[in-house]
Amino acid sequence: MSMNRLVTLEQFIVDQQSIHKEATGAFSRIFRALELGAKMVNRDVRKAGLVDILGEMASVNVQGEVQKKLDVIADDTFTRVLSRCGEVCTIISEEQDDAYFVPGCEDKEYIVSMDPLDGSSNIDVNASIGTIFSIYRRTNTAVPPSVEDCLQPGINQLAAGYFLYGTSTMLIYTTGNGVNGFTLDDSLQEFCLSHENICIPENGKIFSVNEGNLSDFPPGVVSYISWCKEKDKSTNRPYSARYIGSLIADVHRNMLRGGIFLYPATENKPDGKLRLMYECNTMAFLIEQAGGMAHTGKQRVMEVMPTELHQRVPLYIGSTHMVEQVLGLLETEGNF
Ligand code: AHM
Ligand code: MG
């Protein structure tokens, strides 16, 4: 019988709180809300292929409501649970054009930015998707919450994490003190500590990029990708190309195995595709906490000062040696 201690997310957070005496309990309430939201979304995701068969959407239609897509359902769910927890004044979501100021919570300190269901083009093909979140503290609670409060660089994140709805459902998160992973036990409906103190290898042999866009990539990235494909025993090349098209799933694999994920700038889209405030910063905080690196090609991701909620930045993230190598090539061969 395994002698490992069974630690639930709840227990882990309580233990952490007793280590950090300054913690107020507000954080635990936010995490509890996120956990509940993830269990609800997980339940919906697991039924994604069944709704037509079971007719659940039809019953919704009878009431005259429009059939909702899962990413909208996920947005509703997390907005609801975070609003109810009573600790969050502002929610930023990929699904909402504007920041949502939680009624009755104008004096609260915390801001949550989230992508409620990232990789949503993967839903219909049963590939991994996930929820991404970051928690910030408001800079000035004496005035009503505002968009300006939210425009903080990633280095201000208090916590960040993602729920991955994959072959199993996991939560990976950091509060700036390492990265830990929890796996949902379906029968208990509890997240249990399964990946303690995750560290990303300094080097890897996986590169993850949408190579379909190769002809539009900066010269430095084109060189790096062809270098990855060359044969060279001493450096373990060629590397393996792995691309799910779901940021969380791709970064998760690379964090555990070692590797690099690239979503470069192109000439037409100099800011790339991925959003700073609820995709890149979250992943950057996690990867840096695991010992890796996250860069836009011009600066450290977490030092970018956002000017708008849905701002995009190019992303090079993963094992330190690999990211450094791309940055070197961007410097010598060219970037946009
Ligand atoms: P989404 O937020 O609309 O789901 O888009 C973000 C996703 C990421 O998960 C993934 O890394 C990327 O888009 C894939 O983009 P592409 O299909 O261009 O390769
Ligand atoms: Mg997204």
| Chain segment 266-317, per-residue pLDDT in tens | 989 999 999 999 999 999 999 999 999 999 999 999 999 999 999 999 999 9
Q: Is 120 in the pocket of ligand 1 (CB under 6 A)?
A: yes
Q: Model pTM?
A: 0.94
Label residue 3 by pLDDT band (50, 70, 90). Answer: low
Structure tokens belonging to residue 179 = 């990265």
- For the Cβ of 245 lying below 6 angstroms from any atom of ligand 1, the answer is yes
Closest CA to 27 of 6, 10, 42, 4: 10
Contact 119 CB / ligand 1 (< 6 Å): yes
Confidence bin at 21 (pLDDT 50/70/90) = low
The answer on pLDDT for 62 being more than 50 is: no
User: Greater confidence, 21 or 149?
Assistant: 149
- pLDDT class for 55, splitting at 50, 70, 90? very low
Ligand 1 center–CA 119 separation, angstroms: 5
Structural domains of the chain, ranges and CATH numbers in brackets: 9-195 (3.30.540.10), 206-333 (3.40.190.80)
The pLDDT of residue 84 is: 97
- pLDDT > 50? residue 58: no
Q: For ligand 1, is residue 214 a contact (CB within 6 Å)?
A: no
Residue 283 to residue 208: CA distance in whole angstroms? 15
Handedness of CA 117, 243, 278, 22 (dihedral sign): positive
Q: Return left, alpha or beta for 8; rule: phi > 0 is left, psi -120 to 50 is alpha, else beta.
A: beta
3-class SS of residue 222:
helix
What pLDDT, on a 0 to 100 scale, did the predictor assign at position 20?
A: 66
Is 115 close to ligand 1, i.e. is its CB under 6 Å away?
yes
Whole-number average pLDDT of the chain: 92
Whole-number Å distance, alpha carbon 243 to ligand 1 midpoint, is 11
Q: Are 138 and 109 in contact (CB under 8 A)?
A: yes
**Distance, C-alpha 165 to centroid of its chain:** 12
Contact of 100 with 79, CB cutoff 8 Å? yes
60 pLDDT tier (thresholds 50, 70, 90): very low
Mean pLDDT, rounded, for 26-41: 95
Q: Is the pLDDT of residue 99 over 80?
A: yes
State how far the alpha carbon of 185 is from the alpha carbons of 3, 33, 36, 194, 262, in Å.
18, 18, 14, 10, 32
Q: Quick one: which of 1, 6, 84, 103 has its CA closest to 40?
A: 84
Q: Is the CB of residue 273 below 6 angstroms from any atom belonging to ligand 1?
A: yes
Interatomic CA distance for residues 103 and 98, integer angstroms: 15
Question: 112-135, pLDDT tens digit by residue?
Answer: 999 999 987 888 788 999 999 999
pLDDT > 70: percent of the chain: 92
Pocket test for ligand 1, best of 129, 221, 247 (most atoms within 8 A of CB): 247
Q: In this structure, are residues 257 and 167 in contact, taking their beta carbons and an 8 Å threshold?
A: no
DSSP E strands in the chain: the ranges are: 88-93, 100-101, 110-118, 129-137, 159-165, 169-174, 179-185, 190-195, 206-208, 240-241, 260-263, 293-295, 315-318
Residue 57 pLDDT greater than 80, yes or no: no
pLDDT value of position 51: 65
